[in-house]
A and B are shown apart, each in its own frame.
Chain A
Amino acid sequence: MFMRQGGPRTRPSSVRLLALLGAAAIVFAACGSSNQTPSPSAPAASEVPSTAPSEAAAPSASAAATPAPGEPTRAETLIVKAFRKPDALVGNHYIASSDALISDGIHQLVNEPLFYFDYKTGQSVPWVAKGYEYNADNTEITIHLRDGVKWQDGQPFTADDVVFTMEQILKAKAPYRAANIQASVASAAAVDPQTVTIKLKAANPRFVQTDLSAYIYTANFTPVPKHVFEGQDFETFAFYDPAKGWPFGTGPYKLSSIGDDRSVLTRDDSWWGSATGFANAPAPRQVIFSLQGPEDTIISELASNQVDWAGHYGLTPAGAQTALNQNAAIQSTSAFDACPWSLTVNTTAKPWDDPDMRWALNETINKDAFSSLFNTPFAPTSARSTFPEFAGLTALLDQNAALFTKYPTTEFSLDKAAAVFKAKGYTQKDGKWTKDGKPLTVRLSIFDAATLGAVWTTAEQLLVQELNDAGFTVNSKPGDFGVILDARTKGTFDIQAWFECGSVADPWATLNRYAGKSGTDNPGGWDDATYNHLVAQIGKLAPGDPQVNPLFSQALEIWLRDLPVIPLAQRPEPILTNTKYWTNWPTDANQYEIPQSWVMSFHNVVLKLKPAGS
């Protein structure tokens, strides 16, 4: 109970005490900021001192710090913007979520796969492996490992590491991105220290390409060091301990530190690639993956040369254009994401089980308008198919141009659609199509803004408007991945926004998505026996086999005739690179490698960069 006693008394000010605590707090925060530092990599004795001039204070306070003697200068550092800060302190490729995997530079520059996939040639380029061969019926692969490959702790990389990793994956309960490995591989064995044989569960001439190569964004199979992982729980072992120098791989960079807003990787001057003469040592002494801020911050940093690479969720096309206008050293590169946007149609639900109705639906959607939402101020990139338009696939599709004339997927024509609806017995009442008293309804399942960005709110509005204008009664249900995947599994949609990940050079992977019940992503339930047979035949042929093309044309015609999925748009990503300090980036004229920094093959870009003025 409160009781007032006497008058006021003066006491030592609590404010002074709190002010002192506050000052201590800021010192505490700065000193105590977590800086998870693996064993510091001192400059190698053989390191050539940089002849680049020390970086003078840039016109920005934030670039004013001068590195200590021996530390990499700005001109020796590659700074890459990452959309996510490296929260996950995990070096185990197999348990890192995909967002965690791409944020800290480890899978790009510390780890190396057996092969890298070349989108242009459609071939797997040997890396820590030097070659492979299939047996006659494509059920067994012999992989030859490259001599002289070493882990960053100096231990040799051998067949035992490959076999061990494979065995761990096969035993895993939830192998994450290695799920395909588990589904495909029966066993693996070391023939000798440089040779591994992998027995497959079924013939798969694409296994090396899609699962052993860095394909699309990462490699489903990346060897781990047996001498570290042995005895650990493969599915919970983080492989992260700075005191022990973990994680490490065979790559040209070691992880130096993961801070609160960045990860720092330092060139390993004892990297096997340069030691054996296989490749030149990369030019950047240091690579920093730095958390990107708001778009204006990225633009400002590009303008003041504080950043060498930016893109991927950080920049809109308009923002990219602004940055280009502000700094002549900035260049943009066309980069398609491998997974075009589409609308999956539920072919098991009436009236969408009728291909004519699916085509009519396709004709009510303006693909240019949809694509413009994502591309403005650049030109729209409507999709004619669900294949990403990389060079090899574009050439293949162009060879079948006559099919796209016969089946014009990008056509927008409400009149043509109306003619189909009328032919099917629909009549229009108050602007809405009806038949037997029931409205022509379409259930639209689409991403919400929180899942893939605010642009999807506008995309939903656009699609709903177009469908309403076309006379449909629209029931739209935006949601996150949980909602979308739930609808996809249960078939509680008529059309669903999605992205078609599969092929990047050889067409089989995308074709196989729709191959009936065994299709890898066919929630629309489309099932055509002839198509399935053609896809199975292609699946037995090696990528690049000349017999693939005529089979592909037949399969494509069936697919276009039935249109089980409505192609919407290719997904160009604005990628900006800065030539102030580094040149020889992939460009439109010379796209020797895909330019995205978040994919495993960014390794090849870094290897080819040259100091500006060199």
Chain B
Amino acid sequence: MVRSYAVRRIAYSLAVVWIASTAIFLLIHAAPSDPISYIVGRMSVNGASFSNGAQLVESYKAQFGLAKSLPEQYVAYMGQLVQLNLGYSIPNFPTTVTDLLLRALPWTLGLLITTTIIAFVLGSVLGALMAWRQDSRLSQIVLPLFMLLAAIPYYLLALGLLYVFAYTLHWLPTGGVSNIMSTNASPLDAVLDAAVHSILPGLSVILAATGFWMLSMRSAMIPVLGSDYLLLAEAKGLSERRIFFRYALRNALLPQVTGLAIALGSVLAGQVLVEVVFSYPGLGRLLVNAVSGRDYPVVQGITLILVVTVTLGVLIVDLLYPRIDPRISYEQQ
């Protein structure tokens, strides 16, 4: 891989992150709402009555830097970003945005990376099998089933699973991340408890996403089936299983892996409703609360994470492409 290419790609990625950060900053500050007024208003809803509300608003705006001009706020924001300082959460002051994100991130990563990978593996294998055995019973049953599931939004599946397995059958928890009475005496208990609580939210993501991977894998597999090297492998007397896994599937996997890297990068987005339905304390739920609470710094922080992870995912795939597919090289011809 040419070093200069890698350096250029990294520079482009940094530029993307900077442009996206600027866009996020401008969009949020263009919103008509005002986080301080929101907090003061919430105090009023909760029964507080104070004689100097306007003064209070101005004092808090000064404290959070919201009284400065937009360019000044932008410079301060960028300066903090360079130092990896995302600032304070306004409604949760003095809790920092970083603290909130670090608490929520493991739950999102744990659940969504796992489910994305499971959906990917399951969908890819099923899709490859659909293509390999086009006239099989498997295709006739599994394909329409997963196409149907893929058409149903995550949150509707989530609600359906919740209704059946939690509300009606009481087989699985209704939400949260651990048993309310759990003492979590050992790490193993904690893991098992978290795993049980992850089943329903995970299942809703897996069932909805598997269909997508299955269909895309099937599409990627079909052109590979007519390849000469498969014919040669068959002629050499290799077993069907070996030909399927080591030759056909592996070569059809490349575009899927690209998609997986991007999907993992954007795994944080789009799962908001699953986290809300299952009271899962991940980034999605944090984002919902931040938006409704006008918590600008947290919204900025989460959106920045999304941008960085997607950009990073694409960058990593791009740089690793020659490793994945040796037919590809970045050397100048």
Contacts and interface: CB of A to CB of B under 8 A. Distances in A.
Chains A and B are bound partners: yes
Nearest to A264: B180
Given A55-B181, A97-B39, A300-B166, A2 B260 contact: no
A293 B326 CA distance: 49
Nearest to A30: B194
A10 interface: yes
A612 to B, nearest CB: 17
Interface in A335-360: 337-339
Interface stretch (A98-106, A362-370, A410-418, A420-428): A98-106
Interface in B200-256: 229, 246-247, 250-251, 253
A185 interface: no
A87 B171 CA distance: 30
A26 B198 contact: yes
B85 interface: no
Contacts of B193: 30, 65
Nearest to B167: A300
A179 B56 contact: yes
B329 to A, nearest CB: 5
A183 B120 contact: no
A293 B279 contact: yes
A536 B90 CA distance: 38
A26 B171 contact: no
B259 interface: no
24 contacts: A1-B329, A7-B327, A30-B194, A32-B106, A61-B171, A63-B180, A90-B93, A95-B94, A98-B39, A177-B50, A260-B103, A260-B177, A290-B180, A293-B176, A296-B163, A338-B47, A452-B45, A481-B42, A482-B294, A485-B41, A485-B53, A486-B34, A486-B37, A520-B50
B253 A15 contact: yes
Contact of B91 (A68, A79, A97, A237): A97
Given A95-B93, A261-B177, A294-B277, A8 B49 contact: no
A176 B330 CA distance: 60
Contact of B42 (A9, A62, A97): A97
Interface in A516-566: 520-521
A15 B261 CA distance: 11
A365 B323 CA distance: 72
A62 B173 contact: yes
A7 B260 CA distance: 24
Interface string B280-303: 010001100100111000000000
Contacts, number: 315
Contacts of B183: 65, 67-68, 71
B278 to A, nearest CB: 7
Interface string B109-129: 111011011101100100000
A238 interface: yes
A483 interface: yes
Contacts of A444: none
Nearest to B106: A29
Interface in A18-56: 18-19, 21-23, 25-35, 55
A296 B117 contact: no
A22 B279 CA distance: 22
Given A61-B173, A62-B173, 20 more contacts: A8-B250, A8-B251, A14-B253, A14-B257, A30-B190, A60-B166, A61-B172, A62-B166, A63-B180, A65-B183, A68-B183, A95-B94, A98-B48, A174-B59, A177-B50, A259-B177, A339-B45, A451-B38, A483-B32, A513-B49
Contacts of A27: 191
Contact of A501 (B37, B47, B95): B47
Nearest to B190: A30
B95 A22 contact: no
B259 to A, nearest CB: 12
B167 A8 contact: no
A449 B57 CA distance: 23
A297 B193 CA distance: 19
Given A26-B195, A30-B191, A296-B162, A180 B117 contact: no
Contacts of B106: 28-29, 32-34
A482 B332 contact: no
Contacts of A95: 93-94
Contacts of B329: 1-3, 5
Contacts of A74: 181
A11 B254 CA distance: 11
Contacts of B293: 99
Nearest to A85: B281
A277 interface: no
A18 B260 contact: yes
B161 interface: no
Contacts of B62: 174
Contacts of B117: 18-19, 21-22
B10 interface: no
Contacts of A450: 292
Given A260-B103, A293-B279, A4 B110 contact: no
Contacts of A291: 176, 279, 281
Given A22-B118, A296-B162, A521-B49, A238 B113 contact: no
Contact of A499 (B45, B99, B166): B45
A216 B49 CA distance: 10
B185 interface: yes
B43 interface: yes
Contact of B110 (A28, A89, A483): A28
B167 A482 contact: no
Nearest to B94: A238
Contact of A480 (B55, B253, B294): B294
Contacts of A304: 170
Contact of A60 (B109, B170, B187, B289): B170
Contact of A238 (B95, B103, B116, B179): B95
B333 interface: yes
Contacts of A3: 328-329, 331, 333
Contacts of B42: 97-99, 481
A18 to B, nearest CB: 5
A8 B93 contact: no
Interface in B17-76: 32-34, 37-57, 59-60, 62-63
Contact of B47 (A2, A7, A216, A262): A216
A59 interface: yes
Interface string A247-283: 0000000000001111000000000000000000000
A22 B172 contact: no
A179 B90 CA distance: 18
A400 B168 CA distance: 52
Contacts of A67: 181, 183
Cβ-closest 8 pairs across A and B = A29-B110, A481-B41, A62-B173, A174-B59, A216-B47, A482-B34, A30-B194, A88-B92
B198 to A, nearest CB: 7
B311 interface: no
A97 B253 CA distance: 51
Contacts of B309: none
Contacts of B174: 60, 62, 293, 297, 300-301
A301 B116 CA distance: 29
B181 A501 contact: no
B11 interface: no
A177 B39 CA distance: 11
A486 B57 CA distance: 11
Contact of A88 (B49, B95, B118, B177): B95
B276 A90 contact: no
Nearest to B168: A300
A149 to B, nearest CB: 26
Contacts of B289: 84-85, 87
Contacts of B44: 339, 499, 501
Nearest to A22: B117
A158 interface: no
Given A10-B246, A63-B179, A77-B181, A33 B194 contact: yes
Contact of B179 (A5, A64, A479, A499): A64
Interface centre among B45, B47, B116, B175 (most CB of A within 10 A): B47
